[in-house]
């Protein structure tokens, strides 16, 4: 899942990263999922954050992604512009 974020108060890359870091760290520690800032690294007021989830069922993956989206949407000082889900499904062995 990716999250497109707007950081309206940011006036520098350092300020943007200070705002984004608690979101990335919170997702990583609260939900135990892989997280990284993957886009707009050179823009002061934009960020793209991606998460990757592996779980025992599609239901559990959806639960985690829904909770992660609520967490990001509720983060202070950022506006969630868009979220998008992509799937990789493997056939059982």
Q: What is the pLDDT confidence band of residue 90, given thresholds at 50, 70 and 90?
A: confident
The model carries a pTM of: 0.89
> In the prediction, which pLDDT does 89 show?
76
| CA–CA dist 2, 49 (Å, integer) | 6
**Domain spans of the chain, in order of start:** 2-84
Residue 84: pLDDT over 90: yes
Return the CATH number of the domain spanning residue range 2-84: 3.30.70.1120
- Asked if residues 67 and 31 have their Cβ atoms less than 8 Å apart, the reply is yes
Tell me the pLDDT tens digit for each residue of 34-82.
999 999 999 999 999 999 999 989 999 999 999 999 999 999 999 999 9
């Amino acid at each position: 899942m990716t999250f497109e974020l707007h950081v309206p108060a940011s006036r520098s890359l350092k300020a943007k990263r200070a705002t984004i870091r608690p979101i990335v760290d919170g997702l990583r520690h609260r939900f135990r999922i892989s997280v990284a800032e993957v886009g707009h690294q050179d823009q002061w007021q934009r960020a793209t954050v991606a998460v990757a989830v592996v779980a025992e069922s599609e239901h559990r993956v959806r639960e985690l992604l829904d909770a992660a989206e609520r967490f990001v949407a509720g983060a202070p000082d950022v506006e969630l512009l868009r979220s998008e889900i992509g799937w990789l499904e493997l056939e059982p062995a």
